[in-house]
Amino acid sequence: MPATDYTQPQARAVFLDRDDTLMRDIPYCRDPELVELLPGVRDGLLRLQQSGWLLFIVTNQSGIARGYCTHAEVRAVNSRLCQLLQPVKFTGVYYSPDSSEQHSTTRKPAPGMLLEAARTHNLHLPSCWMVGDRPTDVACGHNAGCRTIWIPRDPRDCSDPLPTHKATDFTQAVQIILSETA
């Protein structure tokens, strides 16, 4: 791992899960036309971007390893999502093609995607947030040293490790980030 240059300012970022955080979850989505934004996502991302946050999508896409979709199809879905979210600009979009049955350093809860983004973009991970709907998203952020916000699909779900915050929806998650870093 290259040495961090502490003479340069380190950036802060928000890492965002894709499915059921930014867009409606369609298992193994391979059709860009099926992408549907969740309520409040575009406005919330614009608020974060205007406040100086770098934005990253980090998503597990095990359908590739399972043969349900291709890298090109996942990239097309990600591209459509980014198009629908304009004028929001993402600094990076990362995905892990690995299945849960494979050893992986990138599949959440492993922190590989966040660590790669941190190295590439000089991010200070303790100043960053990971936002997602699954306990694996919370664990990924925790494993990378980020603060976390969990937007559970089922409020009865239990997360281990516990998230820094729990939000009822994306709008509340954005409010938490902005209020804690004002």
Q: What is the DSSP letter of 71?
A: H
5, 17, 133, 137: which is the annotated catalytic residue? Answer: 17
Q: State yes or no: is 19 an active-site residue.
A: yes
Beta strands in the chain (DSSP E): 13-16, 54-60, 92-96, 129-132, 147-150, 165-166
Classify the phi-psi angles of 114: left when phi > 0, otherwise alpha if psi is within -120 to 50, otherwise beta. alpha
What residues does 13 pair with on adjacent strands? Answer: 54
Residue 154 known to be catalytic: no
What positions carry a catalytic annotation? 17, 19
